[in-house]
Amino acid sequence: MSKLYTFLKYFFIVFWAVFVVAPFLWALTTSFKDFQSVNGGVTYIPWVDFEPNLEGWKVLIKSPAKGGVDIVEPYFNSLFVTCTASLISIILGTLSAYALSRYTFKAGFVKNNDITFFFISQRIMPPIVLSIPFFLFLSSINLLDSLVGLIVVYIVLLMPIAVWIMVDFFNKVPREIDETALIDGCNPYQAFLKVVLPNSIPGLIVAGMFCIIFGWIDFFFAFILTFTEVQLLPVKIVALNSSVTPWWSLSASALVSVAPLIIVAFIVERYLSKGNLSGAIK
Amino acid sequence: MNLIANNLTYKPSEEYHLNEVSFNFKEGNLYTILGRTLSGKTTLLKTIAGLLTPDSGAIEFDGKDFLKVPVWQRNVAMVYQQFINYPHLNVFENIAFPLRQRKIDNEEIKNKVMESLKSVGLVGYENRKIQELSGGQQQRVSLARSLVKNAKILLLDEPLVNLDYKLREQLREEFKSLFSKGLADETILIYSTTDPRETMELNGEVIVLDEGKVLQVGPAKEIFENPSSLKVAEISNDPPMNIIEAEISNEQIRFEGIEIKAPNHLSKLTDSGLKIGLRSSDIELNENGHEFEVELAEISGSETLLHLKRGTIKIIMSIEEVLNFKIHDKIKIDFKIDRAYAFAADGKLASSPFGGNNG
């Protein structure tokens, strides 16, 4: 019985691993192919099935004048916009979440829960609904087609995620910990910085991870709010497509665009496996 | 340095958490706040600490208006009933935390923390994480952190209630020896509890609190011997005092077909609607006594608690040995009636075996 169980367990692990890894392997091999090898039937193994070349990768860094698409600048634009917007969202979101978790607000019938819901409601609407006001807003303050404009819009999109996760997290940190810090001589700001925040690192990491993922993968707003001056990676990758689909450079760009998320996932996984994500707060 | 409160009232919703609470606490003394759960004990301690602002009333400490001083400048210490520590710091840093806030130099912090660790018996644990400690040890860290500050006011909010029986006994002993070591020389020690036995053992000045109101103030012995009302008698006894509606006439106490000769301190009472109060320990088994039916028998530690019934009367008796009874057993008991209390119809103490009454 237990042997069967072990067998099934490993079978599913292997099955799942293949399921998850196969597309990446497929993209990896495809990125080294040329037109001939992609369209000449099913091939998998380099040097045996097909002759690998670096054309797909070279296109990504060649300037358009030489027939390339040059994703280097959009890549760093994307990194810059995502990281800046995530960082600002986390800082503002954490502060708002702490206030919403610990203090009572009342303005007529509007109370804490309504404010929290207001933040979250920003994510309920389909992006297309938001796109028109965003477009008009950015155009009225001359920030269309600029990094700053994108960062502003991404903060609007990411901060609700941070608020949502952090309110929930702070609600689980016993108030008595803040109170003890006050009694031990901290003013409210010190209590937040010295006691509450250090105990909220797991929540900050989760919130940060979600912000980075949602910021990094956004295509829609990057597409609508930029034209020629500034381009983000997802838009540039789509622009690769022409009359003949260049599977090799598409695969290569897909791999480089997934790379930062894989790095983030590995860091979080390290942190998780050290057991730091749970158990800090009983 | 006195801590004086005047008519503290706090009513966040329909019910009073504090209802015109006044007291005058003097330094070097131990005050026990005795009350059932939700009686306002924690609210009172938090108000003294400054975590809550009362709706009305005043607190004065050392001649200054305490309500104008923010929590972090009040120099109080508090131990919660939950084991509250800083989970991101190790034991040493937890205890050092209040000292670091005061910008004391490292050498002195180290000495003070080690001394404090010694007094709670946790030497050798300074590098442990809080999560690696047992509940009792966590509470000791909490206590050490409150001791290390040399606070003028030390608040202990049911510090033992979440510990298991054995640890509770052990820590209670340690508390007593800590307090008696002169720790409280210039400190006002305020200890809240629901446990009458704990109150008697700590033997300080007792404030009986119920529904936010102070019912009685006095030394532990006085509260025990002369509870001023039925409520106090209930709160200050565990199991609660048995209350029996009875009639007294011709020097006889009558209830439920039982007739007992009234002792001197009860024989003169003539009011109607009298209630007789008798502690569970003042009832004994007696072959020639009155018949009662066993409703429930519990054995706790070395004690047997019997829930008894006769007609409409239900009482609890405790026996200082382990005895086995079955439900519905008929047993015969006798009342140590000379230790009975009498309460008037309005709940006020009418007569006590220790000579107290409210008149």
Report helix, strand and coil shares of chain B as percent, to nearest 5: 30, 35, 35
What ranges in A218-246 are assigned the alpha helix state H?
220-225, 233-239
Alpha-carbon distance B244 to B240, whole Å? 12
At residue B163, the 3 state secondary structure works out as: coil
CATH number of B242-351: 2.40.50.140
Residue B260 has pLDDT above 90, yes or no: no
Size of interface A-B (CB pairs under 8 A): 61
Instruction: Say which of B51, B86, B145 has its CB closest to residue A182.
Output: B51
Tokens of B149: 């500050």
Each domain of chain B, given as residue ranges in start order, spans 3-228, 242-351
**Most A-contacting residue of B71, B130, B134 (CB-CB within 10 A), to test interface:** B71
Distance of residue B309 Cα from the nearest chain A Cα, in angstroms: 45
Chain B residues whose beta carbon lies within 8 Å of the beta carbon of residue A282: 87, 131
Q: Closest chain A residue to B88 measured between Cα atoms?
A: A199
Find out whether B190 and B207 touch, Cβ atoms under 8 Å: no
Can you give the pLDDT at residue B186?
A: 81
Instruction: Check if B49 contacts A (Cβ < 8 Å).
Output: yes
Q: Go through chain B and tell me how many residues it has.
A: 359
Q: Closest chain A residue to B154 measured between Cα atoms?
A: A183
Q: With an 8 Å Cβ cutoff, are B86 and A190 in contact?
A: no
**Most A-contacting residue of B46, B51, B162 (CB-CB within 10 A), to test interface:** B51
Chain A residues whose beta carbon lies within 8 Å of the beta carbon of residue B71: 179, 182-183
User: What is the average pLDDT score of chain B?
Assistant: 89
Alpha-carbon distance B45 to B330, whole Å? 47
Per-position DSSP letters for A35-62, written without gaps between them: HHHHHSS---SBTTTB---SHHHHHHHS
**Most A-contacting residue of B83, B86, B134 (CB-CB within 10 A), to test interface:** B86
Can you give the pLDDT at residue B358?
A: 46
Chain B residues whose beta carbon lies within 8 Å of the beta carbon of residue A169: none
Tell which wins on pLDDT, A268 or B72.
B72
Among B277, B280, B278, which Cα is nearest to B349's? Answer: B277
Q: Give the rounded percent of residues in chain B with a pLDDT score beyond 70.
A: 98
Can you give the pLDDT at residue A238?
A: 85
Radius of gyration of chain A (CA): 24
Q: State the pLDDT confidence band at B183, using cuts at 50, 70 and 90.
A: low
Among A20-24, B95-99, B251-255, B282-286, the least confident range = B251-255
Instruction: Check if A186 contacts B (Cβ < 8 Å).
Output: yes
Tokens of B220: 């532990």
Q: With an 8 Å Cβ cutoff, are B72 and A177 in contact?
A: no
At residue B350, the 3 state secondary structure works out as: strand
Find out whether B352 and B338 touch, Cβ atoms under 8 Å: no
Which strand (E) or helix (H) includes residue B9?
strand B3-10
Alpha-carbon distance B61 to B304, whole Å? 47
CB-based burial label for B300 (10 Å; 0-12, 13-18, 19+)? exposed
Neighbours of A18 (CB within 10 A): 10
CB-based burial label for B114 (10 Å; 0-12, 13-18, 19+)? middle
- Show Cβ contacts of residue B268 under 8 Å, excluding neighbours closer than 6 positions: none
Radius of gyration of chain B (CA): 24
Distance of residue A118 Cα from the nearest chain B Cα, in angstroms: 27
Neighbours of B187 (CB within 10 A): 21
Q: Closest chain A residue to B81 measured between Cα atoms?
A: A176
Q: With an 8 Å Cβ cutoff, are A179 and B51 in contact?
A: yes
CATH number of B3-228: 3.40.50.300
Q: Closest chain A residue to B147 measured between Cα atoms?
A: A184
Instruction: Check if B69 contacts A (Cβ < 8 Å).
Output: no
Distance of residue A215 Cα from the nearest chain B Cα, in angstroms: 30
Q: State the pLDDT confidence band at B94, using cuts at 50, 70 and 90.
A: very high
B205-210 and B188-193 beta bridge pairing:
unpaired
Can you give the pLDDT at residue A274?
A: 59
Q: Closest chain B residue to A182 measured between Cα atoms?
A: B72
Can you give the pLDDT at residue B121?
A: 85
Chain A residues whose beta carbon lies within 8 Å of the beta carbon of residue B46: 179
Domains of chain A: 22-69+240-282 (no CATH), 72-232 (1.10.3720.10)
Q: Closest chain A residue to B142 measured between Cα atoms?
A: A180
Instruction: Check if B230 contacts A (Cβ < 8 Å).
Output: no
The pLDDT of B67-95, averaged and rounded, is: 93
Instruction: Check if B148 contacts A (Cβ < 8 Å).
Output: no
Query: How many Cα atoms within 13 Å fall on the side-chain side of residue B109?
Result: 16
Can you give the pLDDT at residue A184?
A: 94
Distance of residue A94 Cα from the nearest chain B Cα, in angstroms: 18
CB-based burial label for A268 (10 Å; 0-12, 13-18, 19+)? middle
Tokens of A218: 């956004």
Q: With an 8 Å Cβ cutoff, are B88 and A280 in contact?
A: yes
Chain A residues whose beta carbon lies within 8 Å of the beta carbon of residue B102: 185
Residue B128 DSSP one-character state = S
Paired residues of B247 in beta bridges: B254
pLDDT by residue, tens only, chain A of 282 residues: 689 999 999 999 999 999 999 999 989 988 888 877 777 777 777 888 788 888 888 888 888 777 778 889 999 999 999 999 999 999 999 999 999 999 988 888 888 889 888 888 888 888 888 899 999 999 999 999 999 999 999 999 999 999 999 999 999 889 999 999 999 999 999 999 999 999 888 889 889 999 999 999 999 999 999 988 888 888 888 888 777 788 888 899 999 999 999 888 888 887 766 555 444 444
Chain B residues whose beta carbon lies within 8 Å of the beta carbon of residue A279: 131
Instruction: Check if A197 contacts B (Cβ < 8 Å).
Output: no
Q: Closest chain B residue to A176 measured between Cα atoms?
A: B84
Tokens of B9: 């009232």
Tell which wins on pLDDT, A50 or B134.
B134
Interior CA angle at A55 toward A52 and A61, to 5°?
A: 140
Q: Closest chain A residue to B51 measured between Cα atoms?
A: A179
Tokens of A106: 């009342």
Q: Closest chain A residue to B97 measured between Cα atoms?
A: A184
